[in-house]
């Protein structure tokens, strides 16, 4: 009896068993049922359109603000209003940089923001790690007390905070802005909740290998918490860069002014130089945009199970 191997290729192909694909499920009207991917794609269209509408609503004022900074003063309030400048000019940016000591204000704000951000991230990580991984008496109560401070409005603690800063001799200095802002309840909460998700087996394995507590914190816990670290860094930098009330209270000498206080000084009692104000405002936004785009790639989920076996 001839086998399929002894037959010619054309005959073997003809006698080979045919595999049939299961037909696609059909509706009662005879049409094929749409796949799950098609259903999800169609269902997401209304939500996608809604998100685009919300994004446009939020982006329109910002776009108008950015484009208005390139308009001359005579065009800002001319009728009819137009979003696109009819005459592009950079004079507002030049005047903002030259008319006031903008470079000094920029340096003061950068010093405060960077120093405060570094200290905030470090001390929040230390506090969050201690509250998450050390079960001492009163630890939870201490954490609840830290969270309770978020229920107090900022205006309530301005008076006692100012009294402490004045008695420490930090009034009218950049240190008076930095010191009260170093530790935040939000940063402690973020790091504590993240460190609670890190398996204790990872720490036990490191201790068995001879690692000390500082080595565990700096070489294991901090690298794992990189997403939280950069997220808090972005928020902290934004908070300090945009802070206005506290620098206005602490600073008295114009040479120590931050950008937000300096921008307020541009606004006169009756006459406002809008091109200068818009140009200075756009320049003050550039560091925030730069920080976000540089560090946004680090705001991802961390693989806290790395190095552990199932």
| Residues ≥6 apart with Cβ < 8 Å to 190 | 124, 128, 228, 231, 232
For 257-280, the pLDDT digits (tens) are: 998 888 877 766 557 778 888 888
Task: Assess contact for 73 and 274: CB atoms under 8 A.
Answer: yes
Residue 1, both tokens: 């009896």
The confidence score (pLDDT) of residue 121 equals 94
8 A C-beta contact, residue 153 and residue 191 = no
Distances (CA, A) of 50 to 55, 56, 58, 62, 195: 9, 10, 13, 19, 36
Neighbouring-strand partners of residue 26? 32
Centre a 10 Å sphere on the Cβ of residue 291 and count the other Cβ atoms it contains: 19
> Where do runs of H (alpha helix) occur along the chain?
9-15, 36-68, 73-76, 91-99, 102-133, 139-148, 154-167, 174-178, 185-197, 200-208, 213-216, 222-224, 226-242, 245-250, 259-266, 274-295
Among 124, 118, 286, 271, smallest CA distance to 189 is for 124
Q: Which residues of 235-252 are buried (b: 16+ CB within 10 A; e: fewer)?
A: bbbbbbbebeebbebbbe
Structure tokens of 104?
Answer: 């000094």
Structure tokens at 225: 């918490």
* Other C-beta atoms lying within 10 Å of the C-beta of residue 78: 12
**Sole residue written with tokens 């905030």:** 120
Pairwise CA distance, residues 229 & 95, whole Å: 38
Q: CA quadruple 190, 194, 196, 201: dihedral positive or negative?
A: negative
Q: Quote the tokens at residue 27.
A: 């509706």
How many C-beta atoms surround the C-beta of residue 225 within 10 A? 24
Residue 58 is predicted with a pLDDT of: 87
Instruction: Check residue 15 and give its pLDDT.
Output: 53
3-state SS track over 192-251: HHHHHHCCHHHHHHHHHCCCCHHHHHHHHHHHHCHHHHHHHHHHHHHHHHHCCHHHHHHC
User: Could you list the mean pLDDT of each consecutive 10-residue stretch along the chain, which spans 310 residues?
Assistant: 50 52 52 63 82 89 87 80 83 81 87 94 93 84 86 84 91 91 89 90 88 89 89 89 90 88 72 80 85 73 44
């Amino acid at each position: 009896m001839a086998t399929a191997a002894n037959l010619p290729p054309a005959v073997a192909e003809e006698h080979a068993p045919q595999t049939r694909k299961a037909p696609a499920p059909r509706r009662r009207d005879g049409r094929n049922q749409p796949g799950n991917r098609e259903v999800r794609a169609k269902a997401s269209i209304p939500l996608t359109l809604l998100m685009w509408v919300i994004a446009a609503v939020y982006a329109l004022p910002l776009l108008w603000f950015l484009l208005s900074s390139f308009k001359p003063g005579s065009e800002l309030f001319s009728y009819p209003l137009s979003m696109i400048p009819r005459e592009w000019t950079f004079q507002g940016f030049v005047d903002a940089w030259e008319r006031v000591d903008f470079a000094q204000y920029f340096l003061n704000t950068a010093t405060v923001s960077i120093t405060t951000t570094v200290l905030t991230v470090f001390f929040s990580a230390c506090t969050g790690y201690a509250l998450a991984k050390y079960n001492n008496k009163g630890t939870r109560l201490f954490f609840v007390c830290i969270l309770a401070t978020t229920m107090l409005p900022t205006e309530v603690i301005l008076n006692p905070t100012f009294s402490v800063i004045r008695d420490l001799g930090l009034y009218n200095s950049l240190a008076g802005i930095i010191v009260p802002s170093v530790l935040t309840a939000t940063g402690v909460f973020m790091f504590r909740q993240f460190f609670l998700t890190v398996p204790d087996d990872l720490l036990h394995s490191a201790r068995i290998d001879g690692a000390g507590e500082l080595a565990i914190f700096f070489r294991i816990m901090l690298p794992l918490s990189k997403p939280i670290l950069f997220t808090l860094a972005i928020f902290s930098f934004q908070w300090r860069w945009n802070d206005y009330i506290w620098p206005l209270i602490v600073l008295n000498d114009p040479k120590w002014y931050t950008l937000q206080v300096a921008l307020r000084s541009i606004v006169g009692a009756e006459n406002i130089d809008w091109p200068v104000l818009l140009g200075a405002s756009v320049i003050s936004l550039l560091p925030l945009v730069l920080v976000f785009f540089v560090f946004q790639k680090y705001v991802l989920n961390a693989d806290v199970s790395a190095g552990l076996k199932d």
